[in-house]
Every structure is written in structure tokens, then in C-alpha cells.
Structure 1
């Protein structure tokens, strides 16, 4: 859903949180003017042109000063997952999407123009009589995320910090994206990174309070949840696609990680209303 707020003669305050539920993420485009983003007692001033990525929370408000227009794009974790994809840039984009981020056009006005164009393309697509294309929406959201990544300086910082703990963790996460279906042992990940098993364990626990194995298993369980909801594959086929020896092994793993069997989880999701399905999938932020 995309909401457009034209400039007005006086200040306005808009609630971002929907008490009836709905997408829990938002991208806010502020072409010009001044705004205030607040959650409870915490407020942040924003001067346009700017773009803001946030996880929407209760008591989340956007206050626009007089003469300040804005566009607010609400999107689900499902759309975000497809927009980020599985390429080389997926890991830093995933990391960025988990944070609250404000970027301005100051570093590169052309990048900001591309970002604004993506907002307009999404608005037009959502207004099509024949219905919006999921692939088109994910492509445009991907543009928004990449341009925010570049405007924020995170892309350049990533290139300059190849030897830091954060960069090593990012490389580990990227390798997990590529190989979690192959059930690599942690020692193999460590060897590919040029680290000892203990060094990789220390980086993960110190930075994320999680062991490398927990992170790999969380990623595998997250993918299993997505496939059970969206793929239409049988449980045996999901198990095979995720590299399990058989459905029994997969069911045991899934029950340990989620507290439910694959069949029960799928049936629970199926019974729920379609426009709230994304709320039942484990949060995208569950994979740190």
C-alpha cells in the first residue's frame, strides 16, 4: 500500500501503525520540507529531500510541517524477501533492512531521483485496473533498497572494511545464503573464511549472542517456513529442496526450531486470512 500526502497549509500528523494489523515495514519519501518521525517519546527530525526505512511500531507517527509532501510505502516481509533476492548484495541489503535508516540526497542527487522514480512506479502499478504485478513491485522495492544502501554510505563502508569483524560476519552470512541447503558444517564455513572454528564462533557470539550453528539453523528454518506457506510443494519435496535426507529428519528439525510440525504449521497458516499470512512467518529480523 502506498499513501501520498500532498503539501498542506498547516502541519499534519499521520499514524503509521494500523491497529487492525497490516504490513510492519515502511519506506517514507520526503521530497522536500521538514518532518518529525516519532515513536512514543522518541522523535527524529528529518529534512527533505530524504528517504526513511522503518519497522512500524505502535504509537508511530509522521508529522509533516506546512508545505511538506510525503509518500509512505507500506510493505510486508514477504515482499521484502523477494525484493532482496539471493544475489551477492542480498546480505548487506538484508542487514540494512533490519535497521531504521534515514538517507538524504546530498551524496548523489541522481541516485535520489532514481529512488523517487521507483516510488512513482509503485504508485502507478498499484493503481492499475488489472491489478498489480508482484514481480514489478519487488523489482521497484529492490531499487529503493539499493539506492538507500548507496546513499547511506553503507556500500562504500563495506568495501573499505574488509578486515573488520563486521565484514567477516557479513561474509559468513553471505556464505550461509549460498550454502545453507548443502548443510555445510561450521568448520567448512570457517575454513572458507580463512578462520579457525573457535574464531568464527567467537565473532558470532560476541557480535550477535548466537553461535554460528544457531544462525545457520535459523536461516534454514526461516526458508522452510516460507516454502511451506508459499511453494505448494509437498512436505517431502520441501525437505528434499532444503537438503534433508528424508521428511522424518526435516520434521524433527522443524519441530525443534519452531515448536510445530511442518504439517501443523502449514495447516495453521492456511486457515488464516490471506492478507495476514505474512504476520505468521517468522520475522525477517529473526535471521540477524
Structure 2
């Protein structure tokens, strides 16, 4: 059975790259759909039909970051966008992003950005008033 699979699956590096790109694209789509659910890497791996170790190896090799880092970055990106967009309370943003505790959300955000959510919002607003560009969180190296 394994020989049959290898015969039809092909083992060229080009096929592997295409498969890697496809898997990472599927992972990104799942992440976009479900980041607010705070799924674990193993949950995403199950949804993709692979082991968490394979997903980790694929992300590490292709994107130079672990799946958990990518998941966290997506949540931080959304939090930053919501903080920049308006005057919705930090507590409401935390709950909208699936955090049950505002203090945990604040620690999470500070860990990833170096600033508390309220400070981030004030700094972005001050930069906008001064006519300077706002800080960006890069999520563009996905396939």
C-alpha cells in the first residue's frame, strides 16, 4: 500500500512545495475564520488532517515561525486594528476576541506589542493627529 501511495504521490521537491503552499493557505484560511475561538495548534492540525508536529515543522520551515506564534500574531493584529479603529472599550474588544478576562487580554497584548492596549491606542491616536503613519503589524509573509 505504501509503495502504491509513493508511486502516485510523487516525491519531487516541487510537488512538496506546492503541497506546503496549499497546506499553509488552508491553515491561513482556518486561522482567519477561527482565531477568535482560541483553538490550539492541535485543533488546527486536526482540521487540516495532519499531526501537530507536521504543522509545526511546515510552518517553521516555510515561514520561520511556529503555528502558535502565527495564531498569536493574528489575534494581536486584530486587537491592534480594533484599538486603532475607534473608541470601543478595551474590555469589549477583549470579549469580542474571545478573551474571558480583560487583564489576561492586556497582558497578552503587552507581551506581543510592548505596550498595554490603552497606551497603544493613545500612541496611535497621537501619531494620527501629528500626521505620522500608524505602527504596523506585519502579517504579509504568508503564502
RMSD between superposed Cα atoms in Å: 1.7
| Aligned counterpart, 1:239 | 94
Contact 1:226–1:281 (8 Å) recurs in 2: no
Higher strand proportion? 1
Q: How far is 1:284 from its partner?
A: 4.6
State the TM-score, normalized to the length of structure 1. Answer: 0.41
1:134-161 CA-to-partner distances (Å, cap 9, x unmatched) read xxxxxxxxxxxxxxxxxxxxxxxxxxx9
> Separation in 2 of the partners of 1:281 and 1:225?
9
Matched, 1:230 2:85: yes
SS at match of 1:170: helix
> Which blocks of at least 5 consecutive residues in structure 1 are unaligned?
1-160
Matched, 1:182 2:37: yes
User: 2:132 pairs with 276, 280, 283, which one?
Assistant: 276
> Separation in 1 of the partners of 2:106 and 2:72?
13
| Aligned counterpart, 1:215 | 70
Contact 1:239–1:250 (8 Å) recurs in 2: yes
> Separation in 2 of the partners of 1:283 and 1:217?
13
Matched, 1:165 2:20: yes
> Separation in 2 of the partners of 1:261 and 1:232?
15
User: 1:266 pairs with 102, 113, 121, which one?
Assistant: 121
**Counterparts in 2 of 1:92-241, with a 5 A limit?**
164-241=19-96
> Separation in 2 of the partners of 1:164 and 1:273?
42
Structure 1 or 2, whichever has the larger Rg, is 1
Higher helix proportion? 2
> Separation in 2 of the partners of 1:283 and 1:213?
16
Q: How far is 1:271 from its partner?
A: 1.3
